[in-house]
Amino acid sequence: MNQAALFARNILSVMAVMLGLSMSFPSYAISGASIQAGYGDEQMQTAQVSLRWNWNKYWSLSKIWNASGFWEAGLGYMQSKGAGKRNVWDIGFSPIFRLSPGVSRFFLEGGIGARYLTHDQLNDSRQLGSKLLFSDILGFGWNLGEKDRYELGYRYQHFSNANLANPNEGVNLHMIRLGFNY
């Protein structure tokens, strides 16, 4: 089996587990789920699956902008290339703030959370210094469909140990995100 097929099989397996977990809890608890796929530093491929719990709070910031937020828990997989490459799993938790202009379906989002990785090194040339990392998230997207059931967006995500350990090379990810709102 080639690497692309193995990568796709692993991601589908993770997605099935996350979907199963989301079905086992009361439906009122989880308000959405998403999958993300993309690339990062060191020619890395990445994919993540996430579950979301809305805060059900909304703030009017001006005549145009509204804010809301949610908790997001995710499971990710990073497949690096190069000498000493490692396949890294991560699990994380983040509060995400979302801004939207009026009744528009467009949104901006950002958050800072924590991630725990299975390895602190992606390959021989990219060392993260710690398995416990901070995760900075910036993104944008659109709600689609009837009752805004779907989301399509872009996310930039940065993992780093915030100079709490050496080295602190960090990793940058660029991902396309597809979401479903319950």
Whether the Cβ atoms of residue 19 and residue 32 lie closer than 8 Å to each other: no
Whole-number pLDDT of residue 126: 85
Query: Three-state SS for 146?
Result: helix
Low-confidence residues of the chain: pLDDT under 70: 1-28
The total number of structural domains that make up the chain: 1
pLDDT of residue 180: 96
Rg (CA), the chain: 17
Q: Which domain holds residue 132?
A: 3-181
The torsion angle over the Cα atoms of residues 122, 123, 125 and 129, rounded to 10 degrees, is 40
Q: What is the structure's pLDDT at 10?
A: 60
Amino acid 13: pLDDT: 61
Q: Which CATH number does the domain housing residue 24 bear? A: 2.40.160.20
Beta bridge partners of 92: 74, 115
**pLDDT for the residue 86:** 87
